[in-house]
Amino acid sequence: MRKTGGPAPGGDFAAGPWQDISYPISADLAVYPGDTPFSARQKQVSGSWYTAVLSRVTMGVHIGTHTDAPRHFLPDGASVDELPPDHYIGLCQIVRVDGGRRPDRLITAGDLPEIVAPRLLVDTVSFDFRRPFSERFAVLSADAADKILA
Protein backbone atom coordinates (compact mmCIF):
# COMPACT_ATOMS: atom_id res chain seq x y z
CA MET A 1 0.00 0.00 0.00
CA ARG A 2 1.24 3.47 -0.76
CA LYS A 3 0.05 6.43 1.26
CA THR A 4 0.44 8.87 -1.62
CA GLY A 5 -0.14 6.63 -4.64
CA GLY A 6 2.37 4.80 -6.79
CA PRO A 7 5.87 5.94 -7.63
CA ALA A 8 6.16 8.59 -10.30
CA PRO A 9 7.81 7.71 -13.61
CA GLY A 10 11.40 8.90 -13.82
CA GLY A 11 12.12 8.49 -10.12
CA ASP A 12 10.52 11.52 -8.46
CA PHE A 13 10.76 11.75 -4.70
CA ALA A 14 7.78 10.54 -2.71
CA ALA A 15 5.52 13.26 -1.35
CA GLY A 16 5.02 13.57 2.38
CA PRO A 17 7.11 12.63 5.37
CA TRP A 18 6.42 8.86 5.29
CA GLN A 19 5.34 6.39 2.69
CA ASP A 20 4.51 2.79 3.55
CA ILE A 21 5.50 0.56 0.62
CA SER A 22 4.77 -2.76 2.32
CA TYR A 23 2.11 -5.26 1.36
CA PRO A 24 -0.11 -6.56 4.20
CA ILE A 25 0.96 -10.02 5.31
CA SER A 26 -1.70 -12.70 4.86
CA ALA A 27 -2.07 -16.37 3.98
CA ASP A 28 -2.75 -15.28 0.38
CA LEU A 29 0.83 -14.10 -0.25
CA ALA A 30 3.14 -15.98 -2.58
CA VAL A 31 5.71 -18.15 -0.82
CA TYR A 32 9.06 -19.16 -2.27
CA PRO A 33 9.05 -22.95 -2.86
CA GLY A 34 10.20 -24.70 0.29
CA ASP A 35 9.75 -21.64 2.54
CA THR A 36 7.23 -21.48 5.40
CA PRO A 37 3.85 -19.90 4.52
CA PHE A 38 2.19 -17.35 6.79
CA SER A 39 -0.21 -18.56 9.45
CA ALA A 40 -1.60 -16.95 12.58
CA ARG A 41 -3.45 -18.51 15.48
CA GLN A 42 -4.92 -17.14 18.66
CA LYS A 43 -6.33 -18.81 21.72
CA GLN A 44 -7.84 -17.43 24.86
CA VAL A 45 -6.49 -18.60 28.19
CA SER A 46 -7.71 -17.76 31.65
CA GLY A 47 -6.87 -18.37 35.24
CA SER A 48 -8.39 -17.47 38.57
CA TRP A 49 -7.51 -13.75 38.18
CA TYR A 50 -6.76 -13.18 34.48
CA THR A 51 -7.88 -13.69 30.91
CA ALA A 52 -5.47 -13.29 28.02
CA VAL A 53 -5.18 -14.04 24.33
CA LEU A 54 -2.04 -15.84 23.21
CA SER A 55 -0.99 -15.35 19.62
CA ARG A 56 1.30 -17.36 17.37
CA VAL A 57 2.60 -16.20 14.00
CA THR A 58 4.58 -18.55 11.76
CA MET A 59 6.23 -17.56 8.47
CA GLY A 60 9.46 -17.47 6.59
CA VAL A 61 11.25 -14.10 6.50
CA HIS A 62 11.05 -13.94 2.70
CA ILE A 63 7.31 -13.39 2.60
CA GLY A 64 5.78 -10.17 1.32
CA THR A 65 7.74 -6.94 1.49
CA HIS A 66 11.15 -7.63 3.00
CA THR A 67 14.82 -6.83 2.75
CA ASP A 68 17.55 -9.31 1.99
CA ALA A 69 20.57 -8.94 4.22
CA PRO A 70 24.02 -9.32 2.67
CA ARG A 71 24.23 -12.76 4.33
CA HIS A 72 21.40 -13.95 2.06
CA PHE A 73 23.89 -13.91 -0.82
CA LEU A 74 27.30 -13.76 0.88
CA PRO A 75 28.13 -16.40 3.54
CA ASP A 76 30.24 -13.94 5.54
CA GLY A 77 27.91 -10.95 4.96
CA ALA A 78 26.06 -9.09 7.70
CA SER A 79 22.73 -10.45 8.93
CA VAL A 80 19.73 -8.11 9.01
CA ASP A 81 20.00 -7.60 12.78
CA GLU A 82 23.55 -6.27 12.25
CA LEU A 83 22.39 -3.52 9.86
CA PRO A 84 21.55 -0.10 11.28
CA PRO A 85 17.87 0.91 10.95
CA ASP A 86 18.84 4.22 9.31
CA HIS A 87 19.80 2.21 6.22
CA TYR A 88 16.06 1.79 5.68
CA ILE A 89 14.51 5.00 7.01
CA GLY A 90 14.85 8.38 5.38
CA LEU A 91 14.82 10.22 2.09
CA CYS A 92 14.42 7.81 -0.79
CA GLN A 93 14.20 7.93 -4.56
CA ILE A 94 11.56 5.65 -6.09
CA VAL A 95 12.06 4.42 -9.65
CA ARG A 96 9.56 2.36 -11.66
CA VAL A 97 11.11 0.10 -14.30
CA ASP A 98 8.87 -2.47 -15.98
CA GLY A 99 11.37 -5.30 -16.24
CA GLY A 100 8.86 -8.15 -16.11
CA ARG A 101 7.87 -7.86 -19.77
CA ARG A 102 11.40 -8.39 -21.05
CA PRO A 103 12.44 -11.90 -22.07
CA ASP A 104 15.63 -11.72 -19.97
CA ARG A 105 13.89 -9.83 -17.09
CA LEU A 106 17.09 -7.80 -16.55
CA ILE A 107 17.06 -4.19 -15.40
CA THR A 108 20.22 -2.54 -16.71
CA ALA A 109 22.12 0.60 -15.72
CA GLY A 110 20.60 2.33 -18.76
CA ASP A 111 17.12 1.77 -17.32
CA LEU A 112 17.93 3.75 -14.18
CA PRO A 113 17.87 7.54 -13.94
CA GLU A 114 20.57 9.51 -12.17
CA ILE A 115 20.50 8.46 -8.53
CA VAL A 116 20.23 11.56 -6.38
CA ALA A 117 19.01 10.24 -3.00
CA PRO A 118 20.77 8.26 -0.28
CA ARG A 119 18.27 5.39 -0.71
CA LEU A 120 16.73 3.83 -3.79
CA LEU A 121 13.63 1.69 -4.25
CA VAL A 122 13.19 0.06 -7.64
CA ASP A 123 9.60 -0.93 -8.43
CA THR A 124 10.09 -3.62 -11.08
CA VAL A 125 6.35 -3.97 -11.81
CA SER A 126 7.05 -7.68 -12.20
CA PHE A 127 6.07 -9.53 -9.06
CA ASP A 128 2.58 -10.47 -7.97
CA PHE A 129 2.58 -11.07 -4.21
CA ARG A 130 -0.46 -13.34 -4.50
CA ARG A 131 -0.14 -17.09 -4.85
CA PRO A 132 1.30 -19.07 -6.53
CA PHE A 133 4.93 -17.99 -6.48
CA SER A 134 6.33 -17.16 -9.91
CA GLU A 135 9.99 -16.93 -10.85
CA ARG A 136 9.15 -14.48 -13.65
CA PHE A 137 10.28 -11.41 -11.70
CA ALA A 138 12.81 -8.82 -12.85
CA VAL A 139 16.32 -8.60 -11.42
CA LEU A 140 19.16 -6.08 -11.53
CA SER A 141 22.01 -6.70 -13.94
CA ALA A 142 25.59 -6.38 -12.67
CA ASP A 143 25.96 -2.95 -14.34
CA ALA A 144 22.74 -1.72 -12.67
CA ALA A 145 24.00 -2.89 -9.26
CA ASP A 146 27.34 -1.13 -9.92
CA LYS A 147 25.50 2.10 -10.80
CA ILE A 148 23.44 1.96 -7.62
CA LEU A 149 26.52 1.35 -5.46
CA ALA A 150 28.65 4.04 -7.14
- Dist. CA 43–CA 146, nearest whole Å: 49
Q: Which of 62, 66, 72, 87 is catalytic?
A: 72
- Dist. CA 108–CA 120, nearest whole Å: 15
Query: Amino acid identity of 89?
Result: I
- Nearest Cα neighbor of 14 from 114, 90, 84 is 90
The DSSP annotation for 35-76 comes to SPPPEEEEEEEE-SS-EEEEEEEE--TTSSS----GGGT-TT
Annotated active-site residue 72? The verdict is yes
Residues with a catalytic annotation lie at 72
